[in-house]
A = this chain, B = another copy of it.
Amino acid sequence: MPKQVDYEDRRGRIAEAVCHLIARSGMESVSLRDVAAEAGVSMGAVQRCFRTKDEMLQFALEGISDRIGERARSRIEASGTPESALTLLDQTLSALALLEPEDRTEAQVWGAFVARAAVSDDLATVLRDTYAKLHDLLVWLLDYGGSTGELRPGLDTQAEARTLLALTEGLTSQVLVGHQTGEGARGLLRGYVKGLRR
């Protein structure tokens, strides 16, 4: 079904164009005309792929959410020392906070989506789903750390996961506007995780 493949490929290219536009000049710059030009397709093609702007944004956000989740999981699976829950936790949090210079575009796009989700129920639904999955991932890591004896016994892993997810979210914003450096934010996360040790 080559037609189907083309369609999915085109949707992906359009989502990528949306992210580039947001990172370059903000969510306000995402017009049908500019998206079409950036993706190298006609305006009609964009309209055939997405009925509304919010549907297009939602698809782009799902792509970013998947990538962030995938990256965190693959880092965990690729870890050579699966016994160290603390190392995994530290690496996962750094990945989620989008602290590397090459993560800047994704951090910008994420922030733009969070802002827009405040006035778009559809986007808010995607974000809540993403937060829920990331929360579960952090709870799993914290429970794992409890089972290996690396973390303090009796930790409220649900509350810790909520704190850690909010902390990474805040750091993403603060690094983006230059209140903290990526290095400083990473040190802060590491310090927090150290405080959970047995």
Stretch of A8-16, A24-32, A65-73, A136-144 lying at the B interface: A24-32
Copies of this protein in the complex = 2
Task: Give CA–CA (A108, B118) in the complex, Å.
Answer: 6
Interface of A is mostly: helix
Let me know if A111 is at the binding interface, CB within 8 A: yes
Contact B111 A114 (CB under 8 A): yes
List, in ascending order, chain B residues with CB within 8 A of A184's CB.
Answer: 162
Residue from A27, A115, A124 having most chain B Cβ neighbours under 10 A:
A115
List, in ascending order, chain B residues with CB within 8 A of A28's CB.
Answer: 27-28, 116
Count chain A residues whose beta carbon lies closer than 8 angstroms to a beta carbon of B. 45
Let me know if A176 is at the binding interface, CB within 8 A: yes
Known: A118-B176, A166-B185, A169-B174; 5 extra A-B contacts, CB below 8 A, are A26-B116, A27-B115, A28-B28, A111-B114, A117-B177
The interface of chain A, by Cβ under 8 A from chain B, is 23-28, 107-108, 111-112, 114-120, 124, 127-128, 131-132, 156, 159, 162-163, 165-171, 173-174, 176-180, 184-185, 188, 191-192
